[in-house]
Structure 1
Amino acid sequence: MIDTARPAAHEPHPTARRSPRPPTEPLPAAARRRRRDGCRRAAAGDLLGVAAWASAAVAVALWLASPGSHAVSGLGGWLTDAGIVAGLVATDLVLVMLVLAARVPLLDRVFGQDTAIAVHRSLGKPVLYLLLAHGALLTLGYGTASGSGPVAETVSLFSTPDVPLAYLGLGLFLVVVVSSVVAVRRHLPYEVWHVVHLLSYAAVLVALPHMLSAGSVLGQGTWQRVYWIAAYVVALGLVALYRFAVPLVVTLRHRIRVVAVEPIAPGVVSVHLSGRDLDRLGVRGGQYGVWRFWSATTWWHAHPVSFSAVPGTDRARITVRELGAGSARLARLRPGTAVSLEGPYGLFTDVARTAPYLALVASGIGITPVRALLEDTDLRPGEATVLLRGTDASQQYLWQETAELAAATGTTLYAMVGHRARSRASWATEEDLRRGVTLLSVFPRLLESDLYVCGPQAWSDLVVREARLAGVPEHRIHQERFGS
């Protein structure tokens, strides 16, 4: 049922008791500023999207402009040229995928890291199909032109030094794409999937000799060769910089250590951290980091976990629910354990707001970014409404802290406790469905609000679906998903 949230059975974090920052500008002015910022982000996103697809067009255009690219003779020539185009587009999109996965701050500020990774994954299958078409069309084209047939031509191609490496790269990429299929990934331990996914870097590297030895396509002294070398340098350079160099600098600069591990519910712990100048990390409420804990049982597993409180000068906190063997080991961390951090990442923050009002919906461990977002947002009485959802009393993680923050800012807070309805697909309980509870009844100003939703994917998808049907614009829906 919908009711005022009850306090959870654990002590609030110290930051929950501090007074929120006073609002610095009138509500209409703040809304106009947010709309302007949103328009700028949308324009930047459109430009980056155009640039990504234009890079593939440039690759093909440079080939078309090269000597001999128009000298098509017979069916074999057409097949060969089609294979070349497929390979060029596929390789360019592979490099785009690497950039999307490099955790570049500009992309995170414009799209959010979760959106960048979603696009990265969506390109996997098209790239694989293009690579398979590249190999098949070239083999058929060469075989047709020489009259040798595809089998004999394949054997002949393997006598070329770079072709076996190209096939190895294709095989590695195939393994990566197959492991990312939802039905397959669901049965793989995260650690295994993560190691397999790293093969994408190996696939790019082993295919590089084939790219640079592709005869007239990438001949010495051509603009094509300059383009591809520059594209490889930029893509791999961004990966090296933002996946390795910057996190190393952050880790050495801030010297983060585990202070204590606090159980707050069955299977849920808060990891309290200390460090130097942690407020200079630039964390916004709602963001997450990728954490690596340097103990004997956890050093090889990186954990993407939201901050459950905005860091202070020398303290930070994350709250983790046990979702597998890796996260379960965090409950056994010892004080003093060194910690590496990549981030902060994510647009699940006040920065992404464009509307005058704020609607926050959280289920289970999804409370962590919502609680931090509420803490970090300048709010006037009545500006925000929060709905917390839990199956039972054991899932009321950080509810007491959230209730205190809501009371301090004049935020309306509701709680919904109980199993989801079985009579039809809904994010609400059966009792609330009978009472006619909807998003619009909980959030009367929903159409004037930015909606932030965090929780298990199936549940949060239902909340987002109802919001869309109610007429909430897509750019005002901000969704962060957690495993079930």
Structure 2
Amino acid sequence: MSTTTNRRSVVTPPTGPESSSQQRMLSEPELRGRARRRQAAVDVLGVAVWGSAAMAVTLWLSAGPVDLSGVGQVLVAAGIVAGMVGTDLVLVMLVLAARVPFIDRLVGHDAAMVQHGKLGKPALYLLLTHAGLLVVGYAIESHENVVAEAVALWGTSDVLLAVLALVGFVAVVWTSVVAVRKVLPYEVWHGVHLLSYVAVGLAIPHQLSQGQVLAQGSWERVYWVVLYVVAFASVAVFRFGLPMVRSLRHRVVVVGVERIGAEVVSLYLRGRALTELQARGGQFFMWRFWTGATWWHAHPISLSAAPTADGMRVTVRALGRGSAQLGSLQPGTRVSFAGPYGVFTDRVRTSTRVAVAASGIGVTPVRAFLERLDAPAGAVTVLLRGRSPRETSLWQEVIDLAHARGYRVFTSIGPRGSGTGGWLSSSDTARGVSAASVFPNLRQSDLYVCGPGRWSDLVEQDALRAGLPATHLHRERFDW
């Protein structure tokens, strides 16, 4: 590991949308108070999610007298409850994936999608249980065999639609399994996931046709319809409507392409009234570049410089055919976008002390984050990691920014080591370098980590072992 040289460069003062927030540096008590308020809001959101599942059970309990006098009735009742809770979780999943600004500001897009993914299997298991218990329960009640009962049930149009919805949801969950997802092109995975909207819609007639719980004119039915309206409205407005309106209003185009490495290019974008987006260094957008070769693929790319009133810069590494084609974009190419997203910003800080670890193309949000970070000199330590000198794009810009503000920068280049310090080079690991030795006062700092998934996992584990509170860890993920 080596420290950087004392080279300094002039860094211009903030002039973009964040400049007004930099007039007064927040104190330690103010940062902790802001963090507590944010955590309280996150807790309320979690309670609301599980409260909605409990409410689904309440709907069944309040619908009328419950007959549990026989095995068949018990199975049918359990099946109904499983179906309602499972459907509720699916609607929650839709809201989490809808990129609602309020949720994004609280937990970030990445964390919301992690929770979205965690709910997938429980929701699917509940829906499968719903179907199985109802078939068996009705078969016992009608003294029919299970196969005959299943055929009789599936003969009705609303149940057939529900079966198709269940098949679609099985496909969505199956393609989300890590082993499967790794071999699928993003476009295939994304296309299958669009089935979730269709699947949820197909199940509506089946649910509303059942008078046991969602009877016509009942408050239970009104509540259930409102849940659907909220979920689909969230998707329609924030996933599709708002990005379309913003893209049309701000008229972003490519104005320049700069190759800064063998596989890395910076794209310079220009638009109008970009301050209205309230983007911050460290956030990312979903970009779609309108050329014949690139229009079909939306790219999640972080800002690599703090945005200004009329310009933004993103830096991308060629990791596949889609991203490789961005290096050939021509000035004037129209750009549509969704965002900004993510909480890899100073808004989630809890302390005036900041530690930053970046690897590979993960330096891009770090570079933008540092540009507008309000932290005192000596309070920030940055670790830049690369397997070879080929992976040092934007490093000099980070070094210049850090030196101009009195921050410390360390670099670690070379093959990774092994053991607990395996996120550093083998030479650094052999010398016993660790998160605790790189970052002073780590337990009292906020740690920002951005890089490949496995590497980031190792940084996180090392930092937590060194005593970093989990709430002080902020991470940007690049996987989908």
Corresponding position: 1:334 with 2:330: yes
Corresponding position: 1:62 with 2:59: yes
Q: What displacement does 1:341 show?
A: 1.1
Partner of 2:459: 463
2:236 to 232, 236, 240: 240
For 1:98 and 1:482, locate their aligned partners in 2 and report how far apart those are by CA, in whole Å: 21
Deviation string, structure 1 residues 160-211 (Cα, Å, up to 9, x no partner): 1100100000000000000000000000001111111111111101111111
SS in 1 for 2:184: coil
Q: What displacement does 1:243 show?
A: 0.7
Letter in 2 for 1:4: T
For 1:133 and 1:482, locate their aligned partners in 2 and report how far apart those are by CA, in whole Å: 34
1:121 to 117, 120, 136: 117
TM-score (norm. length: structure 1): 0.95
Deviation string, structure 1 residues 380-411 (Cα, Å, up to 9, x no partner): 21011111011111100101111111111111
Q: Is the 8 A contact 2:304 2:368 kept in 1?
A: yes
Q: Is the 8 A contact 1:5 1:399 kept in 2?
A: no
Structure 1 residue runs of 4 or more that deviate by more than 2 Å after TM superposition: 19-26, 422-425, 481-484
Corresponding position: 1:52 with 2:49: yes
Q: For residues 323-402 of structure 1, what are the structure 2 equivalents within 5 Å?
A: 323-402=319-398
For 2:406 and 2:456, locate their aligned partners in 1 and report how far apart those are by CA, in whole Å: 26
1:18 to 6, 12, 18: 12
Q: Is the 8 A contact 2:59 2:213 kept in 1?
A: no
Partner of 1:87: 83
SS in 2 for 1:347: coil
Corresponding position: 1:168 with 2:164: yes
Q: Is the 8 A contact 1:450 1:477 kept in 2?
A: yes
Q: What displacement does 1:5 show?
A: 6.3
Deviation string, structure 1 residues 323-360 (Cα, Å, up to 9, x no partner): 11211121121211111111101111000000120001
For 1:430 and 1:481, locate their aligned partners in 2 and report how far apart those are by CA, in whole Å: 24
For 1:323 and 1:207, locate their aligned partners in 2 and report how far apart those are by CA, in whole Å: 39
For 2:194 and 2:280, locate their aligned partners in 1 and report how far apart those are by CA, in whole Å: 29
Question: For structure 1, which segment, 465-474 or 210-219, has the greater mean C-alpha deviation from structure 2 after superposition?
Answer: 210-219
Partner of 1:30: 27
SS in 2 for 1:316: strand
**Any unmatched runs of 5+ in structure 1?**
none
Q: What displacement does 1:105 show?
A: 0.7
For 1:147 and 1:5, locate their aligned partners in 2 and report how far apart those are by CA, in whole Å: 83
SS in 1 for 2:424: coil
For 2:419 and 2:272, locate their aligned partners in 1 and report how far apart those are by CA, in whole Å: 52
Letter in 2 for 1:232: Y
SS in 2 for 1:269: strand
1:437 to 415, 429, 433: 433
Letter in 2 for 1:35: R
Partner of 2:143: 147
Corresponding position: 1:301 with 2:335: no
Q: Is the 8 A contact 1:323 1:483 kept in 2?
A: no
Q: For residues 406-417 of structure 1, what are the structure 2 equivalents within 5 Å?
A: 406-417=402-413
Q: Is the 8 A contact 1:5 1:414 kept in 2?
A: no
Letter in 2 for 1:61: T
Q: Is the 8 A contact 2:417 2:430 kept in 1?
A: no
Q: What displacement does 1:217 show?
A: 2.0
Letter in 2 for 1:17: V
Letter in 1 for 2:46: G
Q: What displacement does 1:216 show?
A: 2.1
Q: What displacement does 1:249 show?
A: 1.3
Q: Is the 8 A contact 1:307 1:372 kept in 2?
A: yes
SS in 1 for 2:399: helix
Q: What displacement does 1:482 show?
A: 2.8
Q: Is the 8 A contact 2:421 2:433 kept in 1?
A: no
1:228 to 183, 204, 224: 224
Letter in 2 for 1:233: V
Change (3 A) 1:291 1:23: closer
For 2:350 and 2:434, locate their aligned partners in 1 and report how far apart those are by CA, in whole Å: 23
Q: Is the 8 A contact 2:287 2:335 kept in 1?
A: yes
Q: Is the 8 A contact 1:384 1:412 kept in 2?
A: yes
Partner of 1:198: 194
TM-score (norm. length: structure 2): 0.96
Q: Is the 8 A contact 2:421 2:429 kept in 1?
A: no
Q: What displacement does 1:425 show?
A: 6.3
Q: Is the 8 A contact 1:6 1:400 kept in 2?
A: no
For 1:445 and 1:325, locate their aligned partners in 2 and report how far apart those are by CA, in whole Å: 43
For 2:11 and 2:329, locate their aligned partners in 1 and report how far apart those are by CA, in whole Å: 27
Residue-pair matches, total: 474
Letter in 2 for 1:62: L
Cα root mean square deviation, aligned:
1.7
Partner of 1:42: 39
Q: Is the 8 A contact 2:286 2:338 kept in 1?
A: yes
For 2:443 and 2:343, locate their aligned partners in 1 and report how far apart those are by CA, in whole Å: 20
Q: Is the 8 A contact 1:423 1:430 kept in 2?
A: no
SS in 1 for 2:51: helix
Q: Is the 8 A contact 1:256 1:276 kept in 2?
A: yes
Q: Is the 8 A contact 1:125 1:177 kept in 2?
A: yes
Q: What displacement does 1:480 show?
A: 1.1
Q: What displacement does 1:23 show?
A: 6.1
Deviation string, structure 1 residues 424-458 (Cα, Å, up to 9, x no partner): 76111111112221112111121121000000010
